[in-house]
């Protein structure tokens, strides 16, 4: 199977397949006599594993570790669970950060008049780093 067919079958773009090969995440592909990459069922399974791992937000380093564990039949499932648990903690922290950003933007947006006046707490916060209270409850917050 050539790289285009492998990309379609695995859901990983040809560009990313070449990248994964370049960084050593996957082994170098076999080559035809004319130099084209060739992929077999094992390669497709590995690419699909990588795609599903990326879909879950695992980093390249984590995927490298997961691939090693997947290929090691004598692995301990505790090692896999540890990686997943660490990733869950990372995702939870990101979710908290995103929620804080949403709340800040909602607060700033609710204090922006959205009319023809130039005063805008959103821009003031971005320009000065003023706290929500400074830019939204101070002199610019009045009608």
pLDDT in tens, 52-74: 999 999 999 999 999 999 999 99
Q: How confident is the model at residue 141 (pLDDT cuts 50, 70, 90)?
A: very low
For residues 90 and 58, give the distance between their C-alpha atoms in angstroms, rounded to a whole number.
Answer: 10
To the nearest whole percent, how much of the chain has pLDDT over 70? Answer: 90
Q: How confident is the model at residue 143 (pLDDT cuts 50, 70, 90)?
A: very low
pLDDT (average), residues 130-138 = 58
pTM metric for this prediction = 0.78
Q: What is the pLDDT of residue 129?
A: 82
Ordered domains of the chain (ranges, CATH): 1-58 (1.10.1660.10), 92-143 (no CATH)
29 torsion bin: left (phi>0), alpha (psi -120 to 50), beta (else): beta
CB 68 within 8 A of CB 50: no
Instruction: Outline where DSSP puts E strands in 1-113.
Output: 30-31, 37-38
């Amino acid at each position: 199977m050539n790289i285009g067919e492998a990309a379609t079958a695995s859901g990983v773009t040809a560009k990313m397949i070449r990248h994964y090969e370049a960084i050593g995440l996957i082994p170098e592909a076999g080559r035809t006599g004319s130099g084209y990459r060739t992929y077999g069922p094992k390669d497709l399974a590995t690419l699909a594993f990588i795609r599903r791992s990326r879909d879950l937000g695992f980093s390249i380093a984590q995927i490298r570790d997961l691939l090693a564990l997947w290929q090691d039949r004598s692995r301990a499932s505790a090692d896999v669970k540890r990686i997943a648990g660490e990733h869950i903690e990372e995702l939870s922290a990101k979710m908290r950060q995103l929620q804080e950003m949403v709340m800040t933007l909602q607060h700033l947006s609710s204090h922006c008049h959205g009319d023809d006046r130039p005063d805008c707490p959103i821009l003031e916060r971005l320009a000065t780093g003023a706290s929500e209270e400074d830019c939204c409850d101070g002199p610019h917050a009045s009608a």
